[in-house]
Structure 1
Amino acid sequence: MAQFNVAELFKQTRRKLKLNWVAGLDGGSNTLTSETVTKPSLALIGHLNFVHPNRVQVLGCAEMDYLTSLPSADAERAINNLFSTDLAAVIVANGENVLDILLAAANQHNVPLFTSTLRSPELMDILSHFLAQAMAETISVHGVFMEVQGFGVLLKGEAAIGKSELALELISRGHRLIADDIVDFFRISPERIEGRCPPLLEDFLEVRGLGILNIRALFGDNAVKPTKPLDLIIQLEKADLQTLQMLDRLSIKTQHEEVLGLKVTKVHIPIAAGRNIAVLVEVAVRNHMLLLRGVNATKQFMQRQQRAMKQHK
């Protein structure tokens, strides 16, 4: 899992979460190691085993009402108990007034203390989603990532095999570019991997002989997309006539490639003179759709063949 510090969190979410950094200004380098955002209700009454280190803690109406109801000595003790754990940051939500002892504890322990006018459930929901994206396990892969008929398709193959030219033809047929050359993949949930384009390469596609093309400027905003879940990998392989003749034409076993610990369906397409690769990619995606619905053309053909042989006998 990727790590993320509190200063970067504040920079990227302060407008959306309406954050104001009020104390603990020296704690910006505190590292977040979990996307989980919690409310430390039980910790305030002494159950510190419920506070996990290096997380964001949110104080809502219930927590602040509890603190203000305590005598000052007990409130100070509860706050010191909370800050005795390794907190990454604390957010006081709902526009609640911040107690002076809370400000003092944040400064003493170098824990960033933010305030927000958002309601705590909404704040926690937005923040959890942001952290899940920002801290997801990641890997960079060489290839071209496209949206083809609504599916995220990674085109792979050795250098100069024609991945970018294929991508250009697919774009001209109405499909969309996510990333060329380098794709950053993030495992944002147990069953989902999302592909994104590195900021430096957004909108650009390099085609040998034409140079670097700005796809957004050439084809419009609908020709590009910032992110897409990975659904299918297509491996392009050079092949001659003899290789094509030796291929297993009735292969029914689905192939997979592991990406960030998740198996992704993989299709091999041989590249040879006269083959329309863009059409083959489109059909591979359509066939993948059918397989997801349980429709396997090869199995259907073999079953029909077996029935015909029985009738002939």
Structure 2
Amino acid sequence: MAKVTVNDIIKKFDVELISGEEGINRPITTTDISRPGLEMAGFFDYYPEDRLQLLGKTELTFFERLTPGDKKIRMERLCTDITPGIIITRGLDVPQELIEASQNTAVPVLRSKMKTTKLSSHLTNYLEGKLAPTTAVHGVLVDIYGVGVLITGQSGVGKSETAPELVKRGHRLVADDCVEIRQEDQDTLVGNAPDLIEHLLEIRGLGIINVMTLFGAGAVRSYKRITMCIHLENWDKNKQYDRLGLEEEKMKIFDTEIPKLTVPVRPGRNLAVIIEVAAMNYRLKRMGVNAAQQFTSKLANTIMESDED
């Protein structure tokens, strides 16, 4: 999991640091954002102190109605040892009680000109992208007709050799050899290449080539949502392969399952064309056109008609 600090928030959202400079490297460990309205009223029983705290017009207007003693107590309890930061929205004035409490506990206090709801939305999207669970898979990720296809298989089976042919056919390479995958939503997997090997492709006998330099900027992309997996394996004459396409295998990454096709590899098979057709067929299935089911239905009707005759 990537690490996000308050300093990253300052750089990303161009917010003003008011106090608590010593805590700008505090880690942010959750994507949830808190608006401590009940806490302003004195109810701290379920205070989510490990979240970023947003104080907007509503919270600060209520805060101004408190007695001086209550103001001091509320802000002292708001600033804990694990609170990553407190952000004042709408460019509002920062209460002196908050500045004093933040300096005592080194909790960064920031100020943004954005509205509370808008800032909360932007922060949540940013943190979900940065703090999403990640893993790495040995394979190749290619964008084929808008379908993110993850090509997997044993080393030397032909994954990287298939990628240049797909690029020549107008598709875009995302990652070769190592694909970093993060789960952004409950059912969304996004893949990208590590910075070290971005846009690079290794072909045995040729070495490492730069796809963007060789084929142009239109031949690559930085990331892509993964929607299907094609697993390449050496042809096994003793194994029964699916010839109709009715059986749908799944590959599970984190909590998300994606369709998986196993394609046997042997001399003479054009893997690039097969993978391209698989991506197009996947798009047709998403549109409600399933050739295998249509064929099975027609076959069943033909058999029934023959039996009646």
Instruction: Give the TM-score range, shorter chain.
Output: over 0.9
Worse overlay, 30-39 or 154-163: 30-39
Q: Which runs of 5+ in 2 are unaligned?
A: none
SS of the equivalent of 2:244 reads coil
Q: Which runs of 5+ in 1 are unaligned?
A: none
1:79 aligns with 2:75: yes
Could you list the per-position Cα deviations for residues 49-89 of structure 1 after superposition, in whole angstroms to 9, with x for gaps in the alignment?
A: 34213110011122222223433322112212322584221
SS of the equivalent of 1:216 reads helix
Correspondence list, 1:240-279, <5 A: 242=237, 246-279=240-273
Cα separation, 1, equivalents of 2:243 and 2:5: 55
Cα separation, 2, equivalents of 1:247 and 1:86: 55
**Is residue 155–residue 233 contact of structure 1 (8 Å, CA) maintained in 2?**
yes
Q: Quote the offset at 1:280 in angstroms.
A: 0.4
1:141 aligns with 2:140: no
Q: Quote the offset at 1:109 in angstroms.
A: 1.4
Could you list the per-position Cα deviations for residues 104-123 of structure 1 after superposition, in whole angstroms to 9, with x for gaps in the alignment?
A: 11111121211112222221
Residues 178/133 of structure 1: CA separation in 2 closer, same or farther (3 Å cut): same
Worse overlay, 93-102 or 225-234: 93-102
**Runs ≥4 in structure 1, deviation > 6 angstroms?**
none
Query: Where does residue 94 of structure 2 map in the other structure?
Result: 98
Cα separation, 2, equivalents of 1:131 and 1:178: 23
Query: Where does residue 187 of structure 2 map in the other structure?
Result: 191
SS of the equivalent of 1:147 reads strand
Q: Quote the offset at 1:48 in angstroms.
A: 1.3
1:45 aligns with 2:44: no
Query: Where does residue 109 of structure 2 map in the other structure?
Result: 113
1:122 aligns with 2:100: no
Q: TM-score, normalised by structure 2?
A: 0.93
Could you tell me the percent identity over the aligned residues? 31
Amino acid at match of 1:267: L
**Is residue 160–residue 202 contact of structure 2 (8 Å, CA) maintained in 1?**
yes
SS of the equivalent of 2:246 reads coil
Cα separation, 1, equivalents of 2:41 and 2:160: 60
**Is residue 251–residue 257 contact of structure 2 (8 Å, CA) maintained in 1?**
yes
Query: Where does residue 88 of structure 1 map in the other structure?
Result: 84
Q: CA RMSD in A?
A: 1.9
Cα separation, 1, equivalents of 2:291 and 2:84: 54
Q: How many residues align?
A: 307
Query: Where does residue 280 of structure 1 map in the other structure?
Result: 274
Cα separation, 2, equivalents of 1:43 and 1:231: 43
Among candidates 154, 157, 160, match of residue 158 of structure 1: 154
Among candidates 206, 210, 220, match of residue 224 of structure 1: 220
Cα separation, 2, equivalents of 1:149 and 1:86: 47
**Is residue 56–residue 90 contact of structure 1 (8 Å, CA) maintained in 2?**
yes
Among candidates 197, 203, 207, match of residue 199 of structure 2: 203
Worse overlay, 169-178 or 50-59: 50-59
Query: Where does residue 6 of structure 1 map in the other structure?
Result: 5
Query: Where does residue 15 of structure 2 map in the other structure?
Result: 19
**Is residue 194–residue 229 contact of structure 1 (8 Å, CA) maintained in 2?**
yes
